[in-house]
């Protein structure tokens, strides 16, 4: 379980929204952008994957 004090100061690094803590699933879900952050050994992994914003991954952007 994460301490409430920690949950109070945590926010989504991507949009700074509130996080929903789900202890049974060991994850934090952002209430605003729905990004999911896993919790490993009681440490929230607050990483933002920039690839999500570009839509399609591994696809070369050929312009012109």
The position carrying tokens 């570009």 is 54
Nearer to Zn ion by C-beta: 8 or 59?
8
- List of residues contacting Zn ion (CB under 5 A): 12, 14-15, 17, 30, 32-33, 35
In the complex, minimum distance from the CB of residue 25 to Zn ion, in angstroms, rounded to a whole number: 17
- The 3-state DSSP class for residue 9 equals helix
Nearer to Zn ion by C-beta: 16 or 42?
16
CA distance 40 to 35: 16
- The 3-state DSSP class for residue 19 equals strand
Nearer to Zn ion by C-beta: 17 or 46?
17
């Amino acid at each position: 379980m994460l301490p409430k004090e920690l949950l109070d100061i945590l926010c989504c690094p991507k949009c700074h929204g509130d996080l929903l803590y789900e202890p049974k699933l060991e994850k934090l879900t952002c209430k605003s952008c729905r990004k999911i952050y896993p919790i490993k050994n009681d440490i929230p992994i607050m990483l933002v994957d920039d690839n999500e914003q570009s839509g399609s991954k591994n696809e070369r952007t050929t312009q012109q």
